[in-house]
């Protein structure tokens, strides 16, 4: 018998490319049919067939309070009754700008946008406008949204021009983007020595959540900060994923490094489309209408979306919120590691705040090349066994996982129990 998810997926593929509105949702990496959902509450999801899951994707991060938190829903309903959009300033935008500045002090001025992609794209434009330079540096395995200049892979050697990693991106656009290895301090030094004064900006995920989870070496981040300062390059921390999730003040508070510009998304909208970029006042004042760098948005600062963000951020400020979230996430990760060991499966895992990484490899990876060495087949088998058991993990060996404040001890225990059976099934015979 075909499930409702299968039926919907069949039909969707006729009208929506691949049946999905964002590629990872299609389950191409793990195989099988994507699950179509109809309801979420707290740590739980229900699919269109009525099956219940414990959710470890949390909409890829935003649902840090769990699904349908009553305070957030109530705030959204109240403000929605006063119109969904004005395309004119509101006091809500000022309120969230003040809160962002309080929680992330490096963001002296901030602009709201509607997605993480828009935030990073705009941050790069303002950095280029401010410096009058073109070159952009990024790191292999980091994802910063889908704008042209960022869909670039490394060229054939260090210091060579980048090549597009997507069809439809002109080589001329990619040519301004240089891609280096994450956590490779020497490469960074070599690049800055060779052409540091031509670099407009460096964009980085200060904890990477888009090649599974990769944690930065302190020395690497500190060197990056120092080199950018010395050469007048703008340092952009892309905290779309890590913002308000690894720490109330983001990864920059966790590691005590002050970027010039920060980009936010995901948690900042509490599940509605909000992004933001902001930082040094002298840089941000290059934006129109004050300066020559153009950037705009019809729905930017949308009152309903901003309200969902404000209601979410308000609840994150309760004492010990992040300490509890981090402890709960660590409990999950530790439980999975011992379950794998018991079953004799080569496996490692780690967490930072409410983010975690699971790797079917000997040790936690520190670069894209190491991430790629994980046993993908074993992950895929594990993923489907867990899905059957009602545990919804990211459908790819190369994505991070997320825990919310709604995940209870019982949820974690249930998950570890399911993993015990799944690890046994995937263990080498």
240 binds ligand PLP (CB under 6 A): yes
Closest to 170 (Cα-Cα) out of 179, 161, 157: 161
Contact window for ligand PLP (CB under 6 A) among 68-76, 93-101, 233-241, 370-378: 233-241
Cα separation, 119 vs 99, whole angstroms: 18
Cα-based distances in Å from 331 to 323, 325, 326, 328, 413: 12, 10, 9, 5, 9
Nearer to ligand PLP (CB atom), residue 277 or residue 347? 277
Write down the catalytic residue from 53, 56, 143, 359: 143
Among 19, 196, 216, 265, binds ligand PLP (CB under 6 A): 265
Cα separation, 345 vs 338, whole angstroms: 10
**Residue with the two structure tokens 């011992």:** 338
Among 43, 58, 117, 351, binds ligand PLP (CB under 6 A): 117
Cα separation, 60 vs 245, whole angstroms: 11
Among 72, 92, 235, 241, binds ligand PLP (CB under 6 A): 241
Beta bridge partners of 348: 359
Beta bridge partners of 52: 46
Check if 281 is active-site. Answer: no
Among 34, 62, 209, 365, binds ligand PLP (CB under 6 A): 209
Contact window for ligand PLP (CB under 6 A) among 32-40, 187-195, 204-212, 344-352: 204-212
**Which three-class secondary structure state does DSSP give residue 275?**
strand
Among 128, 144, 245, 384, binds ligand PLP (CB under 6 A): 144
Nearer to ligand PLP (CB atom), residue 153 or residue 420? 153
Q: What are phi and psi of 423, to 5 degrees?
A: -60, -40
**Which three-class secondary structure state does DSSP give residue 54?**
strand
Could you tell me the smallest distance in angstroms from the CB atom of residue 402 to ligand PLP? Answer: 11
Among 5, 43, 58, 115, binds ligand PLP (CB under 6 A): 115
Could you tell me the smallest distance in angstroms from the CB atom of residue 274 to ligand PLP? Answer: 9
Q: How far is CA 290 from the centre of its chain?
A: 31
205 binds ligand PLP (CB under 6 A): yes
Could you tell me the smallest distance in angstroms from the CB atom of residue 277 to ligand PLP? Answer: 11
138 binds ligand PLP (CB under 6 A): no
Write down the catalytic residue from 238, 260, 331, 392: 238
137: alpha, beta or left, given left = phi > 0 and alpha = psi -120 to 50?
beta
Could you tell me the smallest distance in angstroms from the CB atom of residue 241 to ligand PLP? Answer: 4
Q: Is 158 exposed, middle or buried (0-12, 13-18, 19+ CB in 10 A)?
A: middle
246 binds ligand PLP (CB under 6 A): no
262 binds ligand PLP (CB under 6 A): no
Are 141 and 367 contacting, i.e. CB atoms less than 8 angstroms apart?
Answer: yes
Cα separation, 227 vs 275, whole angstroms: 28
Check if 143 is active-site. Answer: yes
Cα-based distances in Å from 400 to 25, 118, 219, 277, 354: 14, 22, 23, 23, 10
399 binds ligand PLP (CB under 6 A): no
Contact window for ligand PLP (CB under 6 A) among 142-150, 321-329, 335-343, 357-365: 142-150
Contact window for ligand PLP (CB under 6 A) among 69-77, 202-210, 283-291, 402-410: 202-210
Among 116, 206, 249, 335, binds ligand PLP (CB under 6 A): 116
The structure tokens listed for 131 are: 């410096």
Cα separation, 231 vs 237, whole angstroms: 17
| Residue ranges with strand state E in 225-377 | 234-238, 261-264, 275-279, 348-352, 355-359
Could you tell me the smallest distance in angstroms from the CB atom of residue 223 to ligand PLP? Answer: 21
Write down the catalytic residue from 266, 359, 392, 411: 266
Nearer to ligand PLP (CB atom), residue 34 or residue 209? 209
Active site residues: 143, 238, 266
Rule CB under 6 A: which residues touch ligand PLP? 115-117, 120, 143-145, 205, 209-210, 238, 240-241, 265, 275
């Amino acid at each position: 018998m075909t499930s409702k998810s299968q039926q919907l997926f069949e039909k969707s593929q006729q009208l929506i490319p691949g049946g999905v509105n964002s590629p990872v949702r299609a389950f191409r990496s793990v195989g099988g049919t994507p699950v179509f959902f109809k309801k979420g509450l707290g740590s739980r999801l229900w699919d269109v067939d009525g099956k219940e899951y414990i959710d470890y994707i949390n909409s890829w991060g935003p649902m840090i309070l769990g699904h349908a938190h009553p305070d957030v829903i109530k705030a959204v309903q109240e403000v929605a009754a006063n119109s969904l959009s004005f395309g004119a300033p509101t006091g809500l935008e000022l309120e969230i700008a003040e809160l962002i500045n309080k929680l992330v002090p490096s963001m002296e001025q901030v602009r709201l946008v509607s997605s993480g992609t828009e935030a990073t794209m705009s941050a790069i434009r303002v950095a280029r406008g401010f410096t009058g330079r073109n070159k952009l540096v990024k790191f292999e395995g980091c994802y910063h949204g889908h704008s042209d200049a960022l869909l670039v892979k490394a060229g054939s050697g260090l210091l060579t021009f980048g090549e597009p990693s997507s069809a439809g991106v002109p080589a001329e656009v990619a040519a301004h983007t240089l891609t280096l290895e994450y956590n490779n301090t020497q490469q960074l030094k070599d690049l800055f020595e060779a052409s540091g004064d031509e670099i407009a900006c460096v964009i980085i995920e200060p904890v990477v959540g888009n090649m599974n989870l990769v944690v930065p070496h302190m020395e690497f981040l500190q060197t990056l900060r120092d080199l950018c300062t010395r050469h007048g390059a703008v340092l952009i921390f892309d905290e779309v994923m890590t913002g308000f999730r690894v720490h109330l003040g983001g990864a920059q508070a966790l590691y005590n490094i002050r970027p010039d510009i920060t980009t936010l998304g995901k948690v900042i909208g509490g599940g509605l489309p909000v992004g933001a970029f902001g930082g040094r006042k002298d840089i941000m004042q290059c934006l129109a209408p004050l300066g020559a760098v153009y950037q705009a948005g019809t729905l930017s600062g949308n009152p309903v979306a901003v309200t969902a963000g404000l209601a979410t951020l308000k609840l994150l400020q309760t004492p010990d919120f992040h300490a509890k979230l981090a402890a709960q996430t660590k409990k999950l990760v530790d439980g999975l590691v011992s379950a794998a060991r018991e079953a004799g499966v080569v496996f490692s895992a780690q967490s930072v705040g409410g983010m975690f990484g699971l790797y079917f490899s000997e040790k936690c990876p520190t670069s894209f090349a190491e991430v790629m060495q994980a046993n993908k087949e074993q992950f895929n088998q594990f993923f489907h066994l867990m899905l059957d058991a009602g545990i919804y993990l990211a459908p790819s060996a190369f994505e991070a996982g997320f825990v919310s404040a709604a995940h209870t001890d019982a949820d974690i225990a249930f998950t570890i129990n399911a993993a015990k059976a799944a690890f046994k099934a995937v263990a080498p015979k």
